Each structure stands twice: as C-alpha cells, then as structure tokens.
Structure 1
Amino acid sequence: MHAPIKTVLSFALAGALQAVALPCAAQAPAPVPAPQAHAASAATVLPGDDFFEYANADWLKATSIPADRGSWSAMAQLAEETNQRIVKLIEAVPGDKHAGAEAQKVSDYYRAFMDEAGIEAKGITPMQPALKRIAAIKDKTELTRALAATVRADVDPLNATEFHTENILGLWVSQGMNEPKRNMPYLLQGGLGLPDRVYYLEDDERMHKLRTAYQAHVAAMFKLAGYSDPETRAARVYELERKLALTHASREDSADVLKANNTWSAADFARKAPGMDWKLFFQTAGLGRQQHFMLWHPGAVVGVAALLKECSLDAWKDFLAFHAINTNAAYLPQAFTEQHFDFYGRTLGGTPQIAVRWKRALDAVNAGMPDAVGKLYVATYFPPEAKTKLQQMVTNIVHAFHGRIDRLAWMAPATRKEAHAKLDALYVGVGYPDRFTSYAQLAVKPDDAYGNAERASRLHYAQQLAKLQQPVDGKEWCMPPQLVNAVNMPMQNALNFPAAILQPPFFDPKGPDALNYGAIGAVIGHEISHSFDDSGAQFDSEGRLRDWWTPADAAHFKSASAALAAQYSSYKPFPDLAINGQLTLSENLSDLAGLAASYDAFKAASPQGDDRAFFLGYAQSWRSVAREPSLRRQVMTDGHAPARWRTYTVRNLDAWYKAFNVQPGQQLYLAPQERVRVW
C-alpha cells in the first residue's frame, strides 16, 4: 500500500501482476486454509510474547517455500489457487464458440508465450530492429530521441517497490495534486537495473558482492546477444547507473508528497535541467503539447540531462541496449530467461528455481491484457452475493470510522468536519470496475510473444497519454479483478477491492463475522485509513493537496505518528538490519487505524462476537515466510513492514490484551500510556 496515489495492501507476490499459474494437468495446490477461531495446536509461545507465532504455529511448521518463490504467504497461496482457475479458462477459449474476440486475443497471447520452440527458433531476431536503431545512434540529438522512445506509462511513485528499469524516466498520468479536476503528466526517476539507489551507494561487503554479480549479469546478457567485449560494456553500464543513482531520491523522500509537488512549465526544463533538448525529448515521447508537468523526482530529471552531456555516447548506447535486452528477457530464448532469473531470482531473491512456463505465460498475459483476463475471471468466479456482503461490510466500517473521528478528544471541530467530508465522498469499488479497458486496438498474434508484449506496452502508453485530453475519472480502477490485493488512491479518494481477494482466507460470505472482520475487515479498514495516514491526510475530499488541519491537530498527529515510527524502527528482522519505521509509516498507520475501525464495526454487527477469533483472523491472514535475501530486500526497499511485524499492531489495541490475557513482562506488552493511538 503505498501512495497518495495508490496505497496497496502488499507486494508479497512476484510478477508483473504478481500472478502465478499452474497447468491444467498439474496437481492442484492445496486449498487455502480458512482462518481458525482458535490458536494453532502446535503453538508453544504465549500470545503476548509473539502473536504471529501463536496464531500461525501449525501453518509455519507445515509450510515450505516453493522452489520458484522468494517468499510464501496466505496471499501467494490464494493467488496460486486463483490463477489455476484462470489458466483453465484461458485454455478453454479456443474450443468455445461463444468466447468472443477479446477472449481469443487472451488465448493467443498466452499461446504465443507458451510456444517455446517458436521463440527458440527466432532467437534474438525480434529484437534486432530495436538494437540496430540503438547501434546507429551517431550523436546526442539521436540519443535524445532514443531515450525519449523508451518512456512508457509507469506505476505511480508511491505504489511501487521499484520502477520500470527500461525507462530512463517514467511517466505516470493522474489528476493534479493542486488541480484535481485535471489530469497531469508526472515524471519519475528510472533507469536502474538494481532495485534501488542504496544498492549502488551503500559501502558494505554484501552490497559489493551484489554489485559485482550485477555487472557479471550485464556482461552475460551482452554476450548472449552477440556483443563484443561484454565486460567493458557492462562496466560502462554500471558506472552510468551509479551516477544516475546519485541523483535519485531515497525511498523516504519518494514517499513525501510535499517533496513531489513540483510543477514545471515546458519552458522551465531548458533552464532548470540543462544538457537535454527537452523540446525534442517531449515531442518524441508524445508529450509535445503539454505545457506543464509534475516532477515527482526533480533531482533525477536534472541528473539525466547532466549525464546526457557528461557520459560518452558509447556508454549511453550500451545502457540502452542492455536495458532493451534485460527488459524483454522473458520473451527471448531460454538462455536469456535463465540468465535474468539467475541474477534477479537466485542472487537478489534467494529463489532456487525458475517458475514453470505456464506461470510465466500467465504473468505475461496479465501484464499485457489485465482487464481482459479479469473479465474472464469475474464472469465465472465472483458471485453477486459476495459483492453485496462486502459492500455492507464497507458501509459498516466507514460508519465505524466516522464514529472514531467523533470520539477524538484532540481533534478540533474544523478538522473533524473535513475528515467526515473525506469519508462521505469516498468511492469504493468492489470486485471489478464499471468500465473495463478496451483491447480492440491491440493486435495479438499466436506466434509473436515479443511483438505482443511490445504492442501491448505501446497501447497502454497511448491510452495513458489520451487521459491528458480527457476529464478525470473518479471511478477509474488501477487494479484488475484477478489480483489478490487492495488499494487506496487518496488523490482520487477511492478504494478498489478486486474480486480475487474476496475469498478465503480473507473473506467467506458464509463465514462468521469475527473471522471476516478480522481478515478482510482489517483490509477494508486499512485501505480506508490510508486516506488519513501521513500521506493521505494531506489531501482533502476532492483529492487536492491542501492543509485542512489546525496547527494543534497537525502537531498531535505528527507526535502520535512519530511514536508508531519509533515502535517499528525498534524491530530487527536481522541483527544488522532493522525495519525503517519512517519508510513504513503510512502502512503501519493504516494497519493500526484499520484494525481498530474493523473491530468497532465487528462489535456493532456482533456485540457478543468472539474477540479472540477476530484477532486470530487478523494474524492468520498475514501468514508468511520468506528466504533471507528476499526478506532483506523487502526491509530495505519496501514501504510495507514484513508480515510478521505487521501482525504486532495488535499490541496497540486494548481489546487484544483483554482477549488473550496479555500481562506485563510479556514481549509484546505495552503499558496503556505507551500504546499508540492515532485515529
């Protein structure tokens, strides 16, 4: 969940849409266990010492991480089961005379990726036109055009654990921070092959080894593509990226919307970011008509322009060639795919084994045609009664949040009025959007995996550019229905709950209120609360960046938030690596406020309901295990604390102490005055 912009539930799943799939002939994964209204029988730890272990002991004892994953969780397991269903739907399309043209495109996209023999036979030929264009660059003017041509529609800056590496600059199109009725182009930092600037800048043995391994990966990719002197090229690419990293904002600064609120006119670029022909850049990128831009990362924009002038043409050409190959490795022969996985999967993530081809094929079609896949899914697997019950839960939890606002003794009437207005104006999308993205203009061929991906990317970019000439759509979705996740978009003042998360272990329409409110209720509360976290609280009911707080209320909120940041900074997943309480603050605030609001709604709906079952439902929904490299990467770069530590938010709720008889001296015990209370 991170962004004003988009604050999503979790990044625990891998892949373009975090999708996984199994072939129809494969053994089905075990059904996702529903939360239990009692502690796991294997638990030997007291709930007050480690509530995560107490609630999940049996699952942890019985669970091993699949060989093709860096981590495993309740969310990942649910995605695996969900996507097995999706694969069956896709594979049934060719024989279904009622499937329709769009469904056939989904099938063709999938089958093109599955044609491993055809991809092997073509070799790197599909990429040759792009690589030849790069090789033919003769001067900085042509280089400017080439860099601009890499720009694609990026994810938003607060919703991403990493940006698209093929983009020297990313583009995100959304409503303006200061003009919520108008769509604006946001420019984001990009161009790094490693996950974050810290991988280039931290001076320790582990990072040195990763940097060495990365350069070896770059050289290996050049060698596979037939380039001469791959080691020299790799060194040039790495050095250019290192210089880019020096201009990048940190994760903490990226999460600060005030630092991102930078409006430049088209004429400002030549003066503020000299070294680049910005008029040519924007014309090539399809942005020539734009008079104003939002710069989320102005330092990176200035840095790119300076490095265009400073670095050699050969270095830039190597940079472009490597990223073109690296980005498209999945659509090239197996040697490229294996090399890409060897570094990003094994070295960075600690994952022993690459996913089978069916899983990667579904990743590809989910990335290229997400809404078309979502249509197939909801038509078969999302019953109307699930949507109806979930909508009622949302209503109940929003009502509970209103009540919590009314009971805040520290909040002034003027601030309280604005907070209520945000809740009253909130749009909540359940299951699927009112309008799906159209793929009528997408040409899909059953024997062109590389071309399908390229055309899908260009169509998405064109559709995003078109939004610049359209009114803001307050009901636009940013997640497809088949994704096991949820999202808040504070600028849009909107929530999305995709259909795929609305099933056990998160939600069972026929299940008890205690477990539903503890699991999906906490998710709903979490997403609502993002409108009031340290980022979301800076936007008003229309999504405008505006200070609607009295000075005293703002000071109280800042003080309470600092206490929660300090609480999370005290957690150390490794002796040498602690959670960054400031980086994860938005998520931790939303976990705390969301769980509290869901608990209030649960008690209103079921006054005699089982509190223990409620809190166990919460903890069991966060079941998760991770390999050390994967967990380290999450702690270093993700705006979400790892699942175990998110479970510990219960220690701030008085009701949890009473439910489990938590006493002083136990590890998670906090004295009443030390429990963080914000919303």
Structure 2
Amino acid sequence: MILRLLLAAALIFSPASGFASPAPPAPAPAQITREQAVAMLLGFNETGINLAARDLSVRPGNDFNLYANGAWMRFIRVSGGAQEFSYSIQAQLNEDVEAQVRAIVENPAGDPAAQQISELYRGFMDTATIERLGVTPLRPYFDRIARIRNRADLLKTFSENGYNMPFSIGVIPDPGNPTRHIVAIGQAGTLMPTRDYYLREGPEFDRYRAAYRSYVTQLLQLAGIDGAPAKAEAIFGLERRLAEAHWPPERSRDVSQSMNRMTVAELQRLAPEFDWPNTLRLLQMGDVDTLLVGETTAIQAAGRLLDEVPLDTWKAWLTFHFIDAFAPYMSSQFDRAAFTFHNQVLNGMNQPHERWRRGVQLADGALGEAVGRIYMARHFPNESKRVVEEMIGNLRGAFAERLRRIDWMDAPTRAEALAKLEAFGARVGGPERTIDYARLRLDRADMVGNIMRLGDFNFAREIARLREPVDRNLWDMTAQTVGASYNVLTNQITFPAGILQRPLFHPTYDAAVNYGRIGAAIGHELGHGFDDQGRRFDGVGRLRDWWTPAAAQRFHERAEQLGRQFATYEPVPGFRVNAEATMGENIGDLGGLEIAYEAYRRHVAQHGEPAVVGGLTGDQRFFLSYAQTWASYIGNTLMQSIVLTDEHAPPAYRVNGIVRNMDAWYRAFDVKPGDALYLPPEQRVRIW
C-alpha cells in the first residue's frame, strides 16, 4: 500500500484533497496551442481580473459561472475541435509549475539530493534501456507469486513491498491522542475508482467494465501469462465481490462510522482469515496494541474471500496489480495500455503528456522535498509569504467575529469553537525541515528497481513514525504543489508556494482579487475544521464531541439545507452530484467565501473603499475573482469521473451553488427575483 501511494503521488501532480480539485489534463498541442490558451486564460489586468474571459451576454444572476468564464470556455471548446478534452486555470498553473520544476530536475545542482533527482529523471527518460529490458525486470516478482502454495504464503506476499493487498494500511496521528501515531486500516483491493464502476447499471458502466476486462487481459498477455482471458474474468469477479462489500464514499467519510478503535485481538475476531498478529509482525508493526479500523464490514468480507476465492485467482490478481503498478515505467506496450485504460477510458484524456512532463511528475512526486528546497529558493519571494500570512490573520479575525455573532450557536459550543480557531496553525511556502534522501540509492538503468527502492525508503519512514511522537513540522505536501490542505488531526492549514503565484495570487494584485481567490481558499481550509466531519475534532485534533446537542442539531439543519440544493445539480444526464459525499467541500466553499468576504470588508474598513476598475467595484471584483478561480472546460467522460469519485462538486457548482447563498453577491450584481440563481432570503444557507 505504501508503494501504491508513492506511485499515485508520482502520477498526480496536484492533490485530490484540499482546496484544489485534481487538475483536468491539458489538451494536446494539436487541439489548442499553449500560447493560445495562455493568452485567453491568463488575460488578467493589473488587478488580477480576466475581463476577456467574461460572457457579457449572460446576466450574472442567471449563470454567474458563464458570466465570469463563458467567453474563455467557448474559446477552449471551439479550439479543441471535435475531440473530448478538459482544461482549467489550475491545469494551466500546473503546467507553469511543471516547467519550473523541469528546470530544477534537469539541473538540480546545489542540493544534496541532486544525484538521486538526476538518476530517477534520466532513468525514466532513457526509453531505449526500458524498451530493451521489456518485461524482464518483473519476472523475479512473478516467480515470487508462483511460489505461493497456501493462505500463509499469500499473507506473507501481501506484506512484501510492491504487492497489492485487499486492505489498506498506514500510519496516521491517533485521533484519540494526536501526539502519537496509530496504525489505520481500511478497505482496498479494487483498481477502478469506486464501487459504482463495478456495480452500477447503465451503458456507461458496461463500457467501463468491458474496457477493464480487456485491459486486464492485455496486460497479462503482454507479460506472457498463460490463460489471460480466463484469469481476467476471475480477477474481475474477485474485485466485483470486493466492491459489493465496499462502503460508498459518503459512508466512508463519516468519522462516526469509519474510525473504530480495536485491539489486535478484536480485529482478529472481525477478520481472522488475515491472521493479524502475524501479518502485522511481517509488516514490522507487531508491537502495536490498538488500531484504527475503517470500513469494518468490507474488511470482514475481504477476509472471507481469502477462503472462498481459489488461491490461483488471488495469485492472478496479485500478478495483474503488480504489472499495472509498474506499467508506466515499462516498455511502450505496457505504458500505452495503461494510458488507454486509466487516462483515456476513465478520464477522457486524448493522448499522453510529453515524456519529459511525466518524468518531471515522477521525480517531483518521489523526491518532492528535495525539489522543493530548490523551488523555494528560486520561486517564492518573501513578500508573497508576508502578504499571505497577513491575509491569514485577517481571515482568522473575521472568522472569530462571525463565530461570536452567529445566533444559532449557543455559548458553550461557541467557546469551544473559538478555542479551536485560536489553536489552529498555518504553514505557508514550504517546510523548514525536509526529508533526507542521502540513504536512498537510485540507478538510471533500473527503473523498476528504483520504484521498489523508493517504496522501501518510504515504508521505512512510515514505520519509524509509528515509534515517534507526531511532528507537527512535517508537511503532507511539497512546496511546489498546486493545492492546499487542512489536516484535521493536527488542526493545521498548509499553503505551498506552488499555489501562491499568478494567476491565483500575487502580492501586487488588488486586495479584492486576492481575498476572492486565495482568501477564499484560506477560508475554505479554515472551514474544514468546522465542516460536517471536521467539527467532530477539537483544537488539538482529538476526536471529541464538543457540541451541545442543540447546537449540533441546528448545524445539521443548515448542512442538510445546503445538501438539498446540491442534490439537484446534474452536470451530465444520469450523473447527479452526490450531496452527501461532497458535503464537507461544499460547506468549505460556502464558509470560505463568507469568511473571505468578511475579511475583505475588514481590509476595506482599514484602507478605504477601492476605486472602480474596468467598470467593476471592489465587491464585484471579489466575486468575479472567486468565479474565475474555477474557470474550467470539462469533457463528459472526466465529468462523470468527477461526479463519481471527487469529494468536490464540479467547478461550475463551486461557483453558482455557492454565490447564490450570499447576500453580498446579490447586492454586488443586482440579482433579482426571476433570475435563474435567485433564492429568496429565507432559502439562502448561512452557516458561518
């Protein structure tokens, strides 16, 4: 599982959690040139607003997202022609950051880890060696699987680096005592994104399932595995049975159900087939006495499948998942097959990124903190940090003021909420202390070995943390990440240098724009500490119910009201937004914009009402800048994937679904009854 996390980090540049949604893939140059996209997408004036992106034929109150971004969306769609693709302002920023990181990766001189960065990147770029080796690097691992003779052998193989497991396992801060770590276990074992891909009815899902069977067959055949079609059917059947037991996303994110403290003996009674005392010993976790268990019934069902499913099917399942994990680092046949299924079939991407971009993503994901040390020195001025930290102070003050005056929260709950807000920490730019990669050996002629050694390195770090107190100075993302996050177990927000640059932020931008864009992001992350799940944790990150029943009920009523709004949104016919699964992010978006607007008005009170610029008042620029943060054009295939897998709502609803609940937006754009987004005041959701 540690290796699988590493591979995911290497292949996905921006995090799936936090303020930024995963950036859709950029279109191919044949569809639209980068210069054209930049000219249109980044046509910002001196305040940070892109006036050319607007569609002035659209009334703001009818579709604020189209008003703010419609001309840009039309340009991207027409330029893309008939092929399906996706693009966004965050995809553009990712490209810019990748170009910055490429310069570091190709010339990392001056950093102690320069040799490792160079070896990993150049090894990935050495396609001649990769082609010559073919499937040979995987054969020793196939032989290891072939030697499995019984369930004990299977369990031992699960514990070895590189092999998949039907459960996830890792080390996190303990929600019962966030100063120490705990082993956390959850459901796993399927390759397609969610259980819906295996179980949901409809032609789209029939297509996904057929493509998956073909992909499994193709990889097994490329690897020279006998009986590939029959084994593919058996593998799919096993994963379908796992998916039947898996919890849906809305249940998994409910901490009242998914954080279950168990002793090893209790876990053994739940799923004895896994022989937990021995499995934990093999994973170097044998001295733990208490664990945090997630989807209990799914893990129990996976245990039963160890006995019910033939051993040969489990061996075929291990073989396929091993090939799939390493396919991007193998010869072109494996690489193309993996791209076709993962990127084209599941996400609608037309063609792979250039090899250098993928190599940069790999080096950045695997050795990100070494890259980040250089990135900070080259690309993050002190003035940016000063302005962002000042904004965080203003947002903290604005949130505290709102907490003091909201009428639905009673005094005991208010006191606890203010204490939690006071205790939260903010990290800006990059970590002060970074990972030491000196003991990591990489060889440009051995890509599979490199990935294995990276897995060993990260696993050793994971195990070491289990025996150490929680270090609040460790970051969960690198300095160059285009994203932001809130960690509920440490009560900290993180804003890396990567996201703190044009077009999302600049210290010289108009205050209205910075508060509407990065200010809303800061408010969003702050708000995660008080969303429907984050509110269950206290100021030190402990899972503790600090709400009175009356205050909790009033919060729940407001969250449900917001959920009812989002449950009506259907970006693709048959694919409606999952209001429960996206609840935390929707609350974060609404609360973040509310808090950011309050902070902006505090700024105005201190510095005076801003001038009208480009025909736009300060308040109009505030809301327009927020909407332009989510400028996106998304093809239907990726949109379906977002609806099914992303904890965020699609970008258009992060705009229209949020502003329609804010009184200040109505005033700024003269939104009236009869406008499509108009809500009567009593129907507008006001949480913070």
| TM-score of the superposed pair, with normalisation by structure 2 | 0.91
Letter in 1 for 2:655: T
Q: Is the 8 A contact 2:62 2:676 kept in 1?
A: yes
Partner of 2:663: 654
Decide whether aligned partners of structure 1 residues 422 and 312 sit closer, same or farther in structure 2, where only a CA change above 3 A counts: same
Partner of 2:159: 148
Cα distance per residue 1:524-554 (max 9 Å; x no partner): 0000000000011000001111111111111
Partner of 2:198: 200
Letter in 1 for 2:677: L
Aligned-partner Cα distance in 1 for 2:252–2:281: 27
How far residue 209 of structure 1 moved from its aligned partner, in angstroms, is 2.1
Q: Is the 8 A contact 2:538 2:546 kept in 1?
A: yes
Q: List aligned pairs for 1:97-108, cutoff 5 A.
A: 99-108=110-119
Partner of 1:226: 224
Q: Is the 8 A contact 1:28 1:81 kept in 2?
A: no
Q: 1:138 and 2:146 equivalent?
A: no
Aligned equivalent of 1:78, options 63, 70, 93: 93
Partner of 1:678: 687
Q: Is the 8 A contact 1:73 1:622 kept in 2?
A: yes
- The secondary structure found in structure 2 opposite 1:275 is helix
Letter in 1 for 2:142: L
The answer to which of 270-279 and 558-567 deviates more is 270-279
Partner of 2:58: 45
Q: 1:632 and 2:647 equivalent?
A: no
Letter in 1 for 2:157: A
Aligned-partner Cα distance in 2 for 1:396–1:211: 50
Aligned residues: 651
Decide whether aligned partners of structure 1 residues 41 and 533 sit closer, same or farther in structure 2, where only a CA change above 3 A counts: closer
Letter in 2 for 1:577: F
How far residue 616 of structure 1 moved from its aligned partner, in angstroms, is 0.4
Aligned-partner Cα distance in 1 for 2:112–2:499: 28
Decide whether aligned partners of structure 1 residues 167 and 440 sit closer, same or farther in structure 2, where only a CA change above 3 A counts: farther
How far residue 151 of structure 1 moved from its aligned partner, in angstroms, is 7.7
Decide whether aligned partners of structure 1 residues 249 and 274 sit closer, same or farther in structure 2, where only a CA change above 3 A counts: same
Decide whether aligned partners of structure 1 residues 323 and 41 sit closer, same or farther in structure 2, where only a CA change above 3 A counts: closer
- The secondary structure found in structure 2 opposite 1:605 is helix
How far residue 514 of structure 1 moved from its aligned partner, in angstroms, is 0.6
How far residue 11 of structure 1 moved from its aligned partner, in angstroms, is 3.1
Q: 1:173 and 2:171 equivalent?
A: yes
Letter in 2 for 1:447: A
**CA RMSD between the two structures:** 2.1
Partner of 2:494: 496
Q: Is the 8 A contact 2:54 2:67 kept in 1?
A: no
Aligned equivalent of 2:624, options 613, 616, 628: 616
How far residue 182 of structure 1 moved from its aligned partner, in angstroms, is 1.6
Partner of 1:289: 287
Q: 1:60 and 2:59 equivalent?
A: no
How far residue 448 of structure 1 moved from its aligned partner, in angstroms, is 1.9
How far residue 439 of structure 1 moved from its aligned partner, in angstroms, is 1.2
- The secondary structure found in structure 1 opposite 2:495 is strand
Q: 1:641 and 2:649 equivalent?
A: yes
Q: 1:10 and 2:40 equivalent?
A: no
Aligned-partner Cα distance in 1 for 2:402–2:50: 27
Aligned-partner Cα distance in 1 for 2:463–2:89: 37
Q: Is the 8 A contact 1:103 1:376 kept in 2?
A: no
Cα distance per residue 1:480-532 (max 9 Å; x no partner): 11110000011210010010100122111011101100100000000000000
Partner of 1:120: 131
How far residue 136 of structure 1 moved from its aligned partner, in angstroms, is 1.4
Letter in 2 for 1:74: I
Q: Give the unaligned 5+ runs of structure 2.
A: 1-14, 611-617
Cα distance per residue 1:533-586 (max 9 Å; x no partner): 001100000111111111111110000000000010111112222111111110
- The secondary structure found in structure 2 opposite 1:181 is strand
Aligned-partner Cα distance in 2 for 1:612–1:582: 31
Q: Give the unaligned 5+ runs of structure 1.
A: 153-165
Sequence identity (%): 36
Partner of 1:545: 543
Q: Is the 8 A contact 2:16 2:22 kept in 1?
A: no
Aligned-partner Cα distance in 2 for 1:499–1:468: 29
Aligned-partner Cα distance in 2 for 1:527–1:136: 49
Q: Is the 8 A contact 1:505 1:519 kept in 2?
A: no
Aligned-partner Cα distance in 1 for 2:340–2:379: 36
Decide whether aligned partners of structure 1 residues 215 and 144 sit closer, same or farther in structure 2, where only a CA change above 3 A counts: same
Decide whether aligned partners of structure 1 residues 334 and 199 sit closer, same or farther in structure 2, where only a CA change above 3 A counts: same
The answer to which of 464-473 and 170-179 deviates more is 170-179
Aligned-partner Cα distance in 1 for 2:36–2:453: 33
How far residue 203 of structure 1 moved from its aligned partner, in angstroms, is 2.2
Letter in 1 for 2:128: A
Q: Is the 8 A contact 2:168 2:186 kept in 1?
A: yes
Letter in 2 for 1:629: T
Q: Is the 8 A contact 1:7 1:527 kept in 2?
A: no
Q: List aligned pairs for 1:141-540, cutoff 5 A.
A: 141-149=152-160, 166-540=164-538
How far residue 667 of structure 1 moved from its aligned partner, in angstroms, is 0.6
4+ aligned runs moved over 6 Å, structure 1: 26-29, 65-69
- The secondary structure found in structure 2 opposite 1:200 is helix
Aligned-partner Cα distance in 1 for 2:353–2:346: 16
Letter in 2 for 1:639: E
How far residue 299 of structure 1 moved from its aligned partner, in angstroms, is 2.0
Aligned-partner Cα distance in 2 for 1:415–1:308: 47
Partner of 2:613: none
How far residue 119 of structure 1 moved from its aligned partner, in angstroms, is 0.5
Letter in 2 for 1:625: Y
Aligned equivalent of 1:668, options 660, 664, 677: 677
Aligned-partner Cα distance in 2 for 1:66–1:431: 35
